[in-house]
Amino acid sequence: MGKKKTEKLDVSPIFKPIKIGNVEIKNRIAMAPMNMNFTGPNRYVSRQQMAYYAARAKGGTGLIIMEAAMASEMAISDTYRKYNNACLSSEIYVPLMAELVEHVHSFGAKFFVQLAVNAGRQGTSEAGACQPVSASPIPWKGFPEYMINNFEPRQLARACGYQGKIPEFDDHEELMDFARKIPGVHLGGETPREITVEEIKAQLADLGQSAKNAKRAGFDGIEIHAPHGYLMHSFFSPRSNKRTDEYGGTFENRIRIVLEAIHACRKKVGPDYVVGVRISASENLPEGFDPEYARRIAKRCEEEGADYIHLSDGSYEKMNDFLPDKEGQVMPKAAIIKKGLKIPLICPSVHNPENIVDVLTTGKADMVSQGRQQIADPEWVNKVQAGKFKDIIKCTRCNIGCLTRFVLALPGRCILNPTVGQEQWMDEYMKRPILPIKKRAWQIMKEIGKEPSVPVE
């Protein structure tokens, strides 16, 4: 679509409110959950995280989904430790999480948190962690033809501190094999141990408790983390699940873990609190699943009580689906998965306003989530609403400041947006209005489920 058509674009479908469960969201744009390595020591929320999310809320984004917070403190859940995810597995994390929620709410956005129990076979024993676990003892392997922009093995090896000579390889796969052996590069996985049924049950119990903690902290909803090749995803796929027990074999057995996850959360948060699920739209690999299979997963999640489905795509093995290099890659897959689904569906990685309008008006999905675009321009929503399309800072999907630094366990940055990582020093994102005493008291009463007897002026 040309510039003139964009300037005349009717963006009203983007700004039509939508309800997910009993939560009303003011527009159809969500910020996708992304770990930017901003978490403070010992997995506590940091001042920088508060300001970073506040910037996107102030920018008009209707729904913000916080990056995956650890939902279990079992040793097998700690195989992603170099990336320092936040945590909600214990009540000790609730007070600071509550401060984060209150801060983001004060800037006008609804706020969900994604809860993750385990990195699965994509975890690593680096940094002193234990052996990863997965549905079956099958390692993952990165493929050179599926890499993303600026994830060149030589560059990653140097960035991870390798000082030796890197031979010239005629075959790119040989270069990948060389790079995989370098600590920190993470272009392939070690062989995981098959997780036991007892461990699965313990992980799901922890997930339910974390959902309860999220509700107590004031989040408007939770999102169960089941995409991208991590633990739950590894059960879905015939490619990574060769089990013969109740968690393997048939379709219903392979998706049992995510259905039980929904039940575990519902048991702790009740029927009216928002519980969503994020899954990959496809794998696009031998023995992997396709969008029609993902549609069946989504429908079963709906039947078991999920309030919405949030799509992603691919895995570490299919990295250029997980982190699309092209605009709107997931849109046609979302259209397939949406068929027959009554709960809202969120389609990821759509940056251009005209494509978002197409997604919404043609029924491919009910909302759109943006990850890297929200990093590049936290004011995207406000600019679109004001018709200032030329002012949008467009993400180039270069992956330099965000993803490359993430792999190195460094705080995220953006080559287009110098404020990323600096929001905590900016008053416009850290200062929030002090509510009048009566209004604050009313809010507290609402949070604990009591109606105030005195009206608030």
Query: Furthest-apart CA pair in the chain: how many Å?
Result: 77
Torsion sign (Cα): 46, 47, 49, 50? positive
Instruction: State how far the Cα of 327 lies from the Cα of 348, in Å rounded to an integer.
Output: 10
3-state SS of the chain is CCHHHHHCCCCHHHHCCEEECCEEECCCEEECCCCCCCCCHHHCCCHHHHHHHHHHHHCCCCEEEEEEEECCCCHHHCCCHHHCCCECCCHHHHHHHHHHHHHHHCCCCEEEEEEECCCHHHCCCHHHCCCCEECCCCCCECCHHHCCCCCCHHHHHHHCCCCCCCCCCCCHHHHHHHHHCCCCCCCECCCCEECCHHHHHHHHHHHHHHHHHHHHHCCCEEEEECCECCHHHHHHCCCCCCCCCCCCCCHHHHCHHHHHHHHHHHHHHCCCCEEEEEEECCCCCCCCCCHHHHHHHHHHHHHCCCCEEEEECCECCCHHHHCCCCCCCCHHHHHHHHCCCCCCEEEECCCCHHHHHHHHHCCCCCEEEECHHHHHCCCHHHHHHCCCHHHCCCCCCCCHHHHHHHHCCCCCCCCCCCCCCCHHHCHHHHCCCCCCHHHHHHHHHHHCCCCCCCCCC
Neighbours of 398 (CB within 10 A): 18
- The answer to whether 319 and 146 are in contact (CB under 8 A) is yes
**Is 230 noted as a catalytic residue in this protein?**
yes
Q: Which of 230, 273, 316, 429 is catalytic?
A: 230
Residues with a catalytic annotation lie at 230
